[in-house]
Amino acid sequence: MPDFRYRKSSYSDQVAECVEVATNIPTTVAIRDSKHPTGPSLRVTPTAWTAFQRTVREGLTCDQPD
């Protein structure tokens, strides 16, 4: 298993309810809940992570079918 080194945003101060991200493995970005550091993580490609970040920054949404 890769040795993910997680970090959280400097905006989150010391609050325990944060999302942590590990980007130190070139082929995988891992995302986890800081309240459960030994729990599961979501793993995506760096390309998918970049697209997600761009979508959030631009305020875009995905329309869901009715």
Considering the domain boundaries, does residue 35 fall inside one? yes
Q: What is the pTM of this model?
A: 0.78
User: Confidence band (pLDDT; 50, 70, 90) for 1?
Assistant: low
- Asked if residue 15 belongs to a domain, the reply is yes
pLDDT of 62 above 80: no
In one-letter notation, the amino acid at residue 65 is: P
Domain count, the chain: 1
Considering the domain boundaries, does residue 57 fall inside one? no
Task: Give the residue among 12, 40, 8 at the shortest CA–CA distance from 23.
Answer: 8
Domain of 41?
A: 6-46
> Which tens digits make up the pLDDT trace of 19-29?
899 999 999 99
10 falls within a domain: yes
Q: How far apart are CA 26 and CA 17, in angstroms?
A: 26
Residue at 40 is within a domain: yes
How far apart CA 3 and CA 13 sit, in angstroms, is 24
Give the Cα separation of 30 and 39 in Å (integer).
Answer: 12
